[in-house]
Amino acid sequence: MKKKAACSEHADLSPTGITCPECTEGEIVPTRGRFGLMWACSARPKCKFWLKARPTGKHCKHKRNRKTCGALMMEGTKTIPERCSDKECPNHNSHKLKA
């Protein structure tokens, strides 16, 4: 059985240095999940925080309900720009927002 070749998009699998926004104890690190690469808190299994894309370290500045979202921003893809990690935030699908 042959191993899959390393994908160029996953070339940088170094820890991010970003503190977990949920537990504030762990750091966001790359891990292999059931469906491929994901970014999770290093304090697992105690903390269940995870992201499907590499976090940038910035926080979302989108206003909703007269408050700033504040969730971590994730790297985008070729067609989708940087986006919010909170699925409830309109900036999660920033490519669908009206300019």
Task: Tell me what pLDDT residue 96 has.
Answer: 65
28 contacts 39 by C-beta, under 8 angstroms: yes
Decide which of 99 and 39 is more confident: 39
> Per-residue pLDDT for 87 more than 80?
yes
CA distances 44 to 39, 40, 62, 85, 93, Å, are 11, 8, 29, 19, 28
> Per-residue pLDDT for 80 more than 50?
yes
Does the pTM exceed 0.85? no
Task: Tell me what pLDDT residue 76 has.
Answer: 80
pLDDT over 90, % of the chain: 10
Task: Tell me what pLDDT residue 45 has.
Answer: 86
